[in-house]
């Protein structure tokens, strides 16, 4: 194999790797940026509707911790929806840890 053929083959492999990694990334849900800031909490869990004082939504993570988001977007207000979120703690309430969501997206699957 000549040097030119070797370079062409390496460039082709690199291009193929780039295309495959882009395709794999494109299938994952995109983050919805809500509020700028540094996150302190990573949440992976499900959204749950609580019929209390007119109704509200909480998030229960995989470990059983409850979070009360103060700014859950309407598109994510679905009972049982699997989500991933980056948040910042605001306070503690009777319903769990009160958080301000910074980024959120649908989770592909929860174990």
- Find the domain containing 10 and state its range: 1-30
In a domain, 40, yes or no: yes
What CATH number did the domain enclosing 49 receive?
2.40.50
Residues 22 and 38 in one domain: no
Residues 26 and 37 in one domain: no
Q: Could you report the per-residue pLDDT of 10-69, keeping only the tens digit for each?
A: 666 666 555 555 544 445 678 777 767 676 899 999 999 999 888 899 999 999 999 999
Number of domains in the chain: 2
Residue 31 phi, psi dihedral angles, 5° rounding:
-75, 145
For the cut 90, the answer to whether the pLDDT of residue 87 exceeds it is yes
Q: Rounded to two decimals, what is the model's pTM?
A: 0.67
Residues 42 and 16 in one domain: no
Q: Which pLDDT score is estimated for 24?
A: 47
């Amino acid at each position: 194999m000549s040097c030119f053929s070797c370079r062409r083959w390496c460039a082709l492999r690199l291009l193929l790797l780039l295309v495959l990694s882009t395709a794999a990334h494109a299938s994952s849900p995109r983050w919805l940026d809500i509020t700028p800031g540094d996150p302190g909490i990573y949440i992976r869990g499900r959204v749950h509707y609580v019929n209390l004082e007119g109704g509200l939504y909480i998030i229960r993570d995989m470990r059983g911790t409850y979070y009360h988001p103060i700014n859950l977007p309407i598109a994510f207000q679905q009972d049982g929806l699997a989500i991933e979120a980056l948040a910042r703690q605001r306070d503690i309430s009777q319903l769990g840890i009160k958080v301000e969501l910074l980024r959120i997206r649908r989770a592909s699957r929860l174990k």
